[in-house]
Amino acid sequence: KGKLKTVWVCESCGNSDGQWWGSCRSCHKVGTMKRFSEGSEASVSGGSKGTSFGVTEGGTGLSWLPEQAMVQPHRLTDVIHGITQQQWRFSLPGHFGNEVARVLGGGLAPGSLILIGGDPGIGKSTLLLQLASIIAEGSELVEQAPVLYISGEESVEQIGSRADRMKIQTEELYLFSSSDLQDILNKAHRLSPRALIIDSIQTVYLKDVTGSAGGLTQVKECTSTLLRFAKKSNVPVFLVGHVTKAGDIAGPRVLEHIVDVVLYLEGEESSAYRLLRSVKNRFGSTDELGVFEMSNSGLEVVSNPSAIYLSQQNPDSDVLAGLAVAVVMDGSRSFLIEVQALCSPGSTVSRHVNGVQASRADMIIAVLMKQAGLRIQENGIFLNVANGMALSETAGDLAIAAAICSSFLEFPIPHGVAFIGEIGLGGEVRTVPRMEKRVSTVAKLGFNKCVVPKSVESSLKALDLKDIEIIGCKNLKELINAMF
Ligand code: TYD
Ligand code: MG
């Protein structure tokens, strides 16, 4: 009989520790360490219940190190051969397929376990139904093959009517509404699909594992089981994971360590635009970004993504003066923020800021007057950040300055220009952390110009990013000369 070993797992980052701590020693969040027993009864008796492909075979409880679950010692030459096999990808046809394939790192790797996280209602099921359809349909070069779409949230009829609305009529797409993972994998084994989709990981459960579906134990154990299935069968498996508000339900963050690829589908509630980001990829680069728009017939690729960051009111008419785009980081993700400035000459000389630190704004205004000679003394100045976001990074200084100049000079900044840089008291433009990541996001979103500190201009140019011009500025005077 296996012993029960207790560990504590951080709900937020998935770090595990042999001891309880008030805050996670890895991500430093407070109160996120949850008790977890390794080697439950299930795994002790697991051997007898193994199916032909060994769902519970070799059950040593939960695979803290997923590699342990699947890896046997390998001959080097086999490994090298295996790697070349691993590089073979199933390419995803069409506009939509290409965009997803790019985020996945160039196609669908066999046997990969892919987690798609996102808020409830953001469009994960929609995305995966579309994906299931194109994977099943194949292309001119690849024949149709079955794809199995499992939903624990919707009935087959519900998925069917959704697919019907999206005009999906793929012969080889199989739907199954179930949350019993053992049963699901038995069906999958029989069908031998080209891909398996589990919507969502929070609804499936293993009979032999304690806890209810959606709980940390079930979610981790089910994911490990699916990892073993993917590696044994070479079938790529997609998991949907709802990002839950901090609570006792295991969020997908805990699973990030187990799976091969983590994608997040993000977007504002009020907007139809969706970003698909890769935050982890064992088979390719992270930082990939796909841009989609939710339509009546599912997700469509946005061909000119830079436009979605401009004020929504008038996407086609003339650009307004006083708008500039900044690039900020949230953890390891970069995203864009639009800064709006309004300089109104005369009567009330006052300042109002929204979404920008008031002291930072005051400093930038003072520097603009003193070091760049901008005569904005007599103006009321309003600063605002679009969509109620907050700009807390100094990396946004340059965009704030540019927005103020643009409004004051009544000279609109053209479409597709972004600004990254901190401003010092001498009016100098300074570099900020992760310049490369920020600039590559801007390039991927279809911007054609990026204004950066002079000191990093040449190293950024050396990146050789497609279709984007890097403009280095030493100080605010150079910014004004370059832009206005
Ligand atoms: P869904 O994929 O169900 O979200 P998730 O699986 O992430 O919870 O999609 C949710 C929203 O998308 C829903 O409010 C309706 C909308 N939607 C469209 O606008 N167009 C469509 O074609 C589909 C299928 C859904
Ligand atoms: Mg869904």
Cβ atoms within 10 Å of 424's Cβ, excluding its own = 16
Q: Which residues surround ligand 2, an ion (CB under 5 A)?
A: 125
Question: Does ligand 1 come within 6 angstroms of the Cβ of 434?
Answer: no
Q: Which of 153, 159, 294 to mutate to test the pocket of ligand 1 (most atoms within 8 A of CB)?
A: 294
Pairwise CA distance, residues 320 & 180, whole Å: 55
Same domain, 330 and 350: yes
Residue 45 covered by a domain: no
Same domain, 23 and 140: no
Same domain, 118 and 230: yes
Report how many domains make up the chain.
3
Residue 21 covered by a domain: yes
Q: ∠173-177-182 over CA atoms, to 5°?
A: 100
What 3-state DSSP class applies to 387? helix
Q: Which helix (H) or strand (E) holds 434?
A: none
Rounded to an integer, the average pLDDT of 301-324 is 71
pLDDT tens per residue, range 234-286: 899 999 998 866 533 455 567 888 999 999 998 877 788 899 998 889 887 77
Same domain, 136 and 222: yes
Question: Does ligand 1 come within 6 angstroms of the Cβ of 231?
Answer: no
Closest Cα to residue 315, out of 254, 273, 348? 273
If you average pLDDT over every residue of the chain, what do you get?
Answer: 83
Q: Give me the pLDDT at residue 318, please.
A: 64
Same domain, 445 and 389: yes
Same domain, 152 and 28: no
What 3-state DSSP class applies to 397? helix
pLDDT tens per residue, range 117-134: 988 899 999 999 999 999
Q: Is the pLDDT of residue 33 over 80?
A: no
pLDDT tens per residue, range 191-248: 999 999 999 999 999 999 988 888 888 999 999 999 999 999 989 999 999 886 653 3
Last residue of a domain, one of 303, 336, 354: 303
Question: Does ligand 1 come within 6 angstroms of the Cβ of 297?
Answer: yes
Same domain, 474 and 333: yes
Same domain, 91 and 152: yes
Structure ipTM: 0.96
Structure tokens that stand for 362 in this block: 């005051």
What 3-state DSSP class applies to 106? coil
Question: Does ligand 1 come within 6 angstroms of the Cβ of 313?
Answer: no
Last residue of a domain, one of 283, 303, 323: 303
Last residue of a domain, one of 282, 303, 324: 303
Which residues, in sequence order, are bridge partners of residue 325? 338, 418
Same domain, 436 and 346: yes
pLDDT tens per residue, range 418-430: 999 999 999 999 9
16: alpha, beta or left, given left = phi > 0 and alpha = psi -120 to 50? beta
Residue 46 covered by a domain: no
User: CB-hemisphere CA count at 13 Å for 15?
Assistant: 15
CATH for 368: 3.30.230.10
Between the CA of 252 and the centroid of ligand 2 the distance, in Å, is 14
More confidently predicted of 458 and 445? 458
Question: Does ligand 1 come within 6 angstroms of the Cβ of 68?
Answer: no
CB distance 96 to 134 below 8 Å: yes
Q: Which domain holds residue 12?
A: 1-38
Question: Does ligand 1 come within 6 angstroms of the Cβ of 146?
Answer: no
Residue 253 covered by a domain: yes
How far from 376 is each of 131, 179, 355, 442, 477, CA to CA, in Å? 53, 64, 21, 30, 15
Q: Which residues contact 161 (CB under 8 A, 6 or more apart)?
A: none
DSSP string, 204-230: -B-TTSSS-TTSHHHHHHHHHHHHHHH
Same domain, 291 and 240: yes
For the CA of 265, the closest atom of ligand 1 is 7
Backbone phi and psi for residue 189, each to the nearest 5 degrees, phi listed first: -60, -40
CB distance 366 to 373 below 8 Å: no
What's the one-letter identity of residue 41?
A: E
Structure tokens that stand for 405 in this block: 């100049």
